[in-house]
């Protein structure tokens, strides 16, 4: 059994001159030399490109044997091999990975076992894979790829260059901008969680809004974005959302925001632009988080955040025995604080009044 | 590109007289006036219905321009437009959304590309969409809709009026009552997490129980309800479960309980009736939670709850710098408490004895 | 409507002599007696087998009416019915459940509505269900079952005896060992969450690595295992992963480790062998957890764990009113601790210096 992950770069081969040109950087070295893959600074050999973006890895530069290294100009003197000078070598590395991408490009055509409603409009330049279903009124743009078993609901619109991996479900009345990527088993436009209580039962609130997603946004596997109740749920452009995320109805997420895995965002909350939401964080409903907020992993947000900055909640980990004792004390914390106040008062009755 | 979410209410048009009749409320105003959609108090125009249920929005009533407002009788005097008087205007609003629902009703028939085992019993009044698979011994009731790519396992029974959105998986031996709604990529009847350790490996415990779900229960997208080990996992009637929820084997959930997104419920725990489980809460295994319990979002439950009421756990959020200092102190909390005791004793050796 | 979960054991019937032989234990009782199912000590009747592994259930032994009980030799004297003596009765019970398993065994053959690329290699002894898609270069081993609507990406390799339940997605370049079980809507090989920031946008880092999973590993429903960035994501053998788990790119999980539901593991972290990761725990990126670590449910790990043992984080639950007061105090905890230090100093200025 051969190792398949050796295969992706097969067939890809680029001269350093070509790489410098498409990355927009200055090459120091042999323009005709060729690389066939990518690897880390420590492991790259002469047939592979590498990069240095994080200062923590600078120590590996002196012994690097890569065919070429992407780095900032000030480090070029310490580089023992060919290098390409870039202001943002990490973004350069990202572009390089795209050259070696193992995902197949769009191959226009409709698989004979796809089911497309006669009233759907599918670009002749789109690729529709086996067992995909496209309902009435839906549109699929140029260069879009609809993977196997995807469901595109009624009147849903998929912009140019979108890619839906297999088993994605888009309900009706969803709008994707251009170059949106949706990973497998994600669900866009499922019902928001809206029910009115009445005599011990729940009366379903039909969710009449849709979902609108901007350009170049990416949504991870098994992530949900629910449709709006009356108005739409709105996700901006250049938003990146990881796997296992729940985005409830009428949430709004601003351009450029990143949301890591397992995050839950409750209904009608609004997250600003260029926020970084750490993994497994939870945001309560009807809140507003301003632009430029970073949440540490597992942060629980229960009120508006009006100032950009870095926030956190929760406790540190410890061994079970220590934790148990401290957790018990947490549940007595208010009493403990009051006892301290009492002590302070007993020591200096007048001076400590303001500390209650 | 037109905005598709303008479309859902197209074709829906109701007189106020009709609405008052089906909602069972008294109309104050023009019975022949017509509305074509729904909107909030602030945004509704004369062609749209609205509602006032939450007192926080009462301030918008005076300037409301809706075609009709659902509200309680005592507020009718302040309403500048037509109104329908209801004891529970929120439930009335819910019923109204159903009139404007954009989900297509059941259209009986079996798509030619569905695969149905000859030993399955499918009602002639059910709708089976493309690429659905229904295995031997399964039953699908009157008016049920089985979406594209759904899998209905062997001997699984789907009651009348159920709706399965695309890409739902029901394993074998699952029973759904009537009018159950399952959203995309939810999985009902997957194996519970049962393994016996033996010499550093795990011996799989085949999960022999099934899943039973009552009537009118709704399950969100990407939610799991695992099959039981020996006995069944049992979900009551009128239960509403949001997206990204994990319900482990042999869990029991009582009638009328609501479970918000991202909740995890470990094996064999039992949740009573009419509970409200906040988002991202976690319930350990083999616990019992009585009727009428409300859990705040992100509550961790590690013991039985025997009294109805409102519970919570976790810490509040703060800026990262403050949080870091407090989190460090949490891990010293037991020691801190002991130091306070020591101080108290030093100040009043006899009187403070009981506080350890 | 009959109860379908009565059905699984139908047709299964074993003599106690046979059971003792395949479990490798000594039978005390009637070798020709027959059992037809399994139940708990309290509920089993004479046609059912049962087991006693957890001392908490020993009290039910005296009144047990099972056809046979699996137990340790030292308890056989208290058993009023037939018994089979085993060192590890829980593992024996697990083996017994497999005899009564309700999952259909592999029935070799390719459903006419599966789509298999001519360059894929599918064993004639594999079962490929309706609407499965197998892409070029993929391999499916002997005795493997590929459920309905599964997608097997390019060059992905599925070892002998694997079982993929319906709606599983494997991207390209994934390798499964032998007897791996994947539950519905799980996604293996989706893109890791890698993007480089540049001028307020994100440049996608194509994920060039694959995923390698060892033998006998099981992955729950709606769980994700992302493909690696440059190298592979690697899951060992005999690993059991529950539902709703997120395993990010380049994570490594050692042999025999168990991961309960709703866990999130961020990129490049490594978990040792024989760890037990409690439900809804979260592990930050680039960490290392050694062999033999147990995490309590909902533990947040933000640093390496270098010693085997039992760890936890978070706070205990309390009623909402108490919790609110304590949570407020948590955000003042550092200040409170400093006030205690100040008191200590005021009481004994010299002696308490070291406690700051």
| Catalytic position from the list A3, A149, A249, A310 | A249
pLDDT of residue C350: 56
Taking CA atoms, what residue in C is nearest to B347? C347
**What is the per-residue pLDDT across A68-105, written as a single tens digit (0 to 9) for each?**
999 999 999 999 999 999 999 999 999 999 999 989 99
Q: Which candidate from B196, B329, B339 shows the least CB-CB separation from C91?
A: B196
pLDDT of residue C349: 58
Q: Output the DSSP codes for C260-312.
A: -TT-EE-TT-EE-TT-EE-TT-EE-TT-EE-TTEEE-TT-EE-S-B-S-EEEE
pLDDT of residue C8: 38
What lies within 8 Å, CB to CB, of A49 at 6+ separation is: A19, A35, A37, A38, A39, A66, A67, A68, A69, A70, A96
pLDDT of residue C321: 92
Looking at beta carbons, which residues of chain A come within 8 Å of C210? 4-5
Q: Is A79 helix (H, G, I), strand (E, B) or coil?
A: coil
Q: Which candidate from B115, B210, B266 shows the least CB-CB separation from C4?
A: B210
d(CA A27, CA A178): 33
Looking at beta carbons, which residues of chain C come within 8 Å of A220? 190-191, 193, 224
Measured in angstroms, the CA of A49 and the nearest CA of chain C are apart by 12
Taking CA atoms, what residue in B is nearest to A328? B334
Chains that touch B (3 or more CB pairs under 8 A): A, C
Measured in angstroms, the CA of B15 and the nearest CA of chain C are apart by 43
Per-residue pLDDT band at B350 (split at 50, 70, 90): low
**What is the per-residue pLDDT across B241-295, written as a single tens digit (0 to 9) for each?**
999 999 999 999 999 999 999 999 999 999 999 999 999 999 999 999 999 999 9
Q: Which candidate from C93, C184, C220 shows the least CB-CB separation from B196?
A: C93
The residue among B111, B116, B110, B201 whose CA lies nearest residue B156 is B116
Looking at beta carbons, which residues of chain B come within 8 Å of A157? 1, 4
| E strand or H helix at C19 | helix C16-23
Q: Is A69 helix (H, G, I), strand (E, B) or coil?
A: strand
Least confident of A30-39, B33-42, C56-65, C323-332: C323-332
Report the mean per-residue pLDDT for chain B. 93
| Contact map slice: C 114-173 vs B, CB within 8 A | 129-131, 147-149, 165-167
* C260 contacts B187? CB cut-off 8 A: no
The total of other beta-carbon atoms located within 10 Å of residue B108's CB is 14
Q: Token digits for B210?
A: 């099934």
A74 touches chain C (CB under 8 A): no
* C5 contacts B232? CB cut-off 8 A: yes
Q: How many CB pairs below 8 Å do chains A and C form together?
A: 267
Inter-CA distances, B220 with A170, A235, B174, B229, Å: 14, 20, 17, 23
**What is the per-residue pLDDT across B63-86, written as a single tens digit (0 to 9) for each?**
999 999 999 999 999 999 999 999
Per-residue pLDDT band at B1 (split at 50, 70, 90): very low
How long, in residues, is chain B?
356
| Contact map slice: C 3-42 vs B, CB within 8 A | 3-5, 7-9, 38-40
Per-residue pLDDT band at B356 (split at 50, 70, 90): very low
Q: Which candidate from A331, A334, A347 shows the least CB-CB separation from C316?
A: A331
Q: Which residues of C are catalytic?
A: 249
3-state secondary structure C117-172: CCCCEECCCCEECCCCEECCCCEECCCCEECCCCEECCCCEECCCCEECCCCEECC
d(CA A170, CA A226): 10
**Does residue A351 register a pLDDT over 80?**
no
CA B74 to chain centre: 31
d(CA C284, CA C248): 10
Positive or negative: CA dihedral B8, B12, B13, B17 = negative
Contact status, residue B250 vs residue B265, Cβ threshold 8 Å: no
Q: Is A234 helix (H, G, I), strand (E, B) or coil?
A: strand
The residue among B252, B245, B296 whose CA lies nearest residue B270 is B252
The total of other beta-carbon atoms located within 10 Å of residue A356's CB is 10
How long, in residues, is chain C?
356
pLDDT of residue A222: 98
Looking at beta carbons, which residues of chain B come within 8 Å of A232? 5
Q: Is B325 helix (H, G, I), strand (E, B) or coil?
A: helix
pLDDT of residue B142: 98
Contact status, residue B231 vs residue C38, Cβ threshold 8 Å: no
| Contact map slice: C 261-290 vs A, CB within 8 A | 262, 264, 266, 282, 284
How open is the CA angle B281-B282-B286, to the nearest 5 degrees?
145
Measured in angstroms, the CA of C101 and the nearest CA of chain B are apart by 6
Sheet with A293-295, side-by-side order of all strands: A109-110, A127-128, A145-146, A163-164, A181-182, A218-219, A240-241, A258-259, A276-277, A293-295, A309-312, B318-319
**What is the per-residue pLDDT across B203-248, written as a single tens digit (0 to 9) for each?**
999 999 999 999 999 999 999 999 999 999 999 999 999 999 999 9
pLDDT of residue A5: 37
Q: Is B337 helix (H, G, I), strand (E, B) or coil?
A: helix
Q: Which candidate from B130, B255, B330 shows the least CB-CB separation from A330?
A: B330
Q: Token digits for A72?
A: 């900032």
* C318 contacts B312? CB cut-off 8 A: yes
Q: How many CB pairs below 8 Å do chains A and B form together?
A: 266
User: Angle between the A333-347 and C320-330 helix axes, to the nearest 10 degrees?
Assistant: 60
Give the domains, in start order, of chain A with CATH numbers: 4-99 (3.40.1390.10), 109-311 (2.160.10.10), 320-355 (no CATH)
Q: For B70-186, where are the alpha helices, taking DSSP H only?
A: 89-99
Phi, psi (degrees; rounded to nearest 5) at A349: -45, -40
pLDDT averages per 10-residue partition of chain C, 356 residues: 38 92 97 96 96 94 97 95 97 96 95 98 98 98 98 98 98 98 98 96 97 98 97 98 98 98 98 98 97 97 96 91 91 92 83 48
**What is the per-residue pLDDT across C139-154, written as a single tens digit (0 to 9) for each?**
999 999 999 999 999 9
Q: Which candidate from C205, C228, C346 shows the least CB-CB separation from A347?
A: C346
Q: Which residues of B are catalytic?
A: 249
| Contact map slice: B 181-240 vs C, CB within 8 A | 185-187, 190-191, 193-198, 200-210, 212, 222-224, 226, 228-232
d(CA C223, CA C108): 27
What lies within 8 Å, CB to CB, of C288 at 6+ separation is: C269, C270, C304, C305, C306
Measured in angstroms, the CA of A22 and the nearest CA of chain B are apart by 34
d(CA C148, CA C168): 9
Average pLDDT of the residues in A255-284: 98
Chains that touch C (3 or more CB pairs under 8 A): A, B
Measured in angstroms, the CA of C324 and the nearest CA of chain A are apart by 9
d(CA B33, CA B36): 10
Inter-CA distances, C69 with A107, C46, C92, Å: 61, 10, 10
Provide the terminal-to-terminal Cα distance of chain C, rounded to the nearest Å.
70
Q: Token digits for B54?
A: 């939450």
**Beta strands at C14-15 and B300-301: parallel, antiparallel or unpaired:** unpaired
Q: Output the DSSP codes for A31-62.
A: TT-EE-EE--TTT--TTEEEE--SGGGGGGST
Interface test with A, best of C154, C169, C289 (most A CBs within 10 A): C169
**Does residue A207 register a pLDDT over 70?**
yes
pLDDT of residue C14: 96
- Using CB atoms within 10 Å of the CB of residue A13, give its burial: 0 to 12 exposed, 13 to 18 middle, 19+ buried: middle
Least confident of A242-251, A339-348, C5-14: C5-14
Contact status, residue C66 vs residue C45, Cβ threshold 8 Å: yes
* A302 contacts B280? CB cut-off 8 A: no
Measured in angstroms, the CA of B86 and the nearest CA of chain A are apart by 12
**Does residue B5 register a pLDDT over 60?**
no
Q: Which candidate from C38, C256, C355 shows the least CB-CB separation from B230?
A: C38
pLDDT of residue B3: 37
pLDDT of residue A2: 34
Average pLDDT of the residues in B318-342: 92
Provide the terminal-to-terminal Cα distance of chain A, rounded to the nearest Å.
70
CA atoms within 13 A on the CB side of A243: 34
């Amino acid at each position: 059994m051969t190792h398949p992950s050796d295969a992706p770069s097969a067939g890809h081969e680029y001269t350093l001159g070509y790489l410098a040109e498409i990355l927009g950087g200055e090459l120091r070295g042999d323009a005709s030399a060729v690389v066939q893959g990518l690897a880390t600074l420590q492991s790259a050999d002469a047939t592979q490109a590498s990069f240095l973006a994080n200062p923590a890895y600078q120590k590996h530069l002196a012994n690097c044997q890569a065919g070429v290294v992407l780095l900032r100009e000030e480090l070029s003197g310490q580089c023992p091999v060919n290098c390409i000078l870039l202001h943002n070598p990490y973004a350069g590395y990202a572009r390089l990975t795209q050259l070696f991408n193992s995902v197949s490009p769009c191959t226009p055509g409709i698989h004979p076992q796809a089911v497309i409603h006669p009233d759907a409009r599918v670009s002749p330049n789109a690729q529709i894979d086996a067992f995909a279903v496209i309902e009435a009124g839906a549109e699929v743009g140029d260069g879009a790829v609809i993977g196997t078993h995807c469901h595109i609901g009624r009147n849903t619109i998929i912009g140019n260059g979108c890619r839906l991996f297999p088993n994605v479900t888009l309900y009706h009345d969803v709008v994707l901008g251009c170059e949106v990527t949706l990973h497998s088993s994600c669900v866009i436009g499922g019902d928001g969680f809206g029910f009115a209580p009445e005599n011990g039962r729940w009366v379903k609130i039909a969710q009449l809004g849709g979902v609108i997603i901007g350009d170049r946004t990416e949504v991870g596997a098994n992530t949900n974005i629910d449709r709006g109740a009356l108005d739409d749920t709105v996700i901006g452009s250049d938003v990146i959302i990881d796997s296992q995320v729940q985005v409830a109805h009428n949430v709004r997420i601003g351009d450029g925001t990143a949301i890591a895995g397992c995050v839950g965002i409750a209904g009608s909350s609004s997250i600003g632009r260029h926020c970084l939401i750490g993994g497994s964080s939870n945001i309560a409903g009807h809140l507003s988080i301003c632009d430029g907020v970073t949440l540490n992993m597992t942060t629980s947000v229960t009120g508006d955040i009006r100032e950009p900055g870095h926030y956190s909640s929760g406790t540190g980990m410890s061994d079970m025995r220590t934790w148990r004792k401290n957790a018990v004390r947490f549940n007595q914390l208010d009493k403990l604080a009051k006892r301290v106040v009492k002590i302070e008062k007993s020591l200096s009755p007048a001076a400590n009044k303001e500390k209650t």
